[in-house]
Structure 1
Amino acid sequence: MSINIVTLVGRVGGDPDMKYFEDSGSVKCKLTLAVRRRSRSSDEPDWFNLELWGNTAEIAGRFVRKGSLIGVKGSLKFDTWNDRTTGALRSSPVIRVDQLDLLGSKRDEAEMMDNNPDNF
Structure 2
Amino acid sequence: MTLNIVHLVGRAGSNPEIRYFDSGKILCKFNIAVNRRSKKEDQPDWFELEIWDKTAEIAANYVKKGSLVGIQGSLKIDTWNDRNSGDKRTKPLIRVNNLDLLGSKKDNDNYSNSGGGGDF
Q: TM-score range by the shorter chain?
A: 0.7 to 0.9
RMSD: 1.8
Query: Shift in Å at residue 42 of structure 1?
Result: 2.9
The amino acid that maps onto 2:7 is T
2:18 corresponds to 1:9 = no
The count of aligned residue pairs is 110
Q: Which runs of 5+ in 1 are unaligned?
A: 112-120
In 2: Cα distance, 1:105 partner to 1:46 partner: 23
Against the structure 1 CA distance between its residues 57 and 104, is the aligned structure 2 distance closer, same or farther, given a 3 Å change threshold?
A: same
Q: Which one has the largest radius of gyration?
A: 1
TM-score (norm 2): 0.85
Once the two structures are superposed, the pairs formed by residues 18-29 of structure 1 within 5 Å of their partners are 18-22=18-22, 24-29=23-28
Q: Please, which runs of 5 or more residues in structure 2 have no aligned partner?
A: 112-120
Q: Is 2:94 the partner of 1:95?
A: yes
Task: Give the superposition deviation at 1:11.
Answer: 0.1
Query: CA 1:77–1:40 in structure 2 vs 1: closer, same or farther (change >3 Å)?
Result: farther
Moved more, 101-110 or 4-13: 101-110
Partner of 2:114: none
SS at match of 2:59: helix
* Overall identity of the aligned pairs, in %: 58
TM-superposed deviation, 1:105 = 6.0
Do the aligned partners of 1:34 and 1:48 also contact (CA within 8 Å) in 2?
A: yes
* 1:62 counterpart = 2:56: no
Match for residue 116 of structure 1? none
Partner SS state of residue 60, structure 1 = helix
Are 1:80 and 2:83 counterparts?
no
The alpha carbon displacement at 1:39 in A equals 2.7
The match for 1:115 is none
Contact 1:32 1:48 in 2 (8 A): yes
Alpha-carbon distance, 1:84 to partner: 1.1
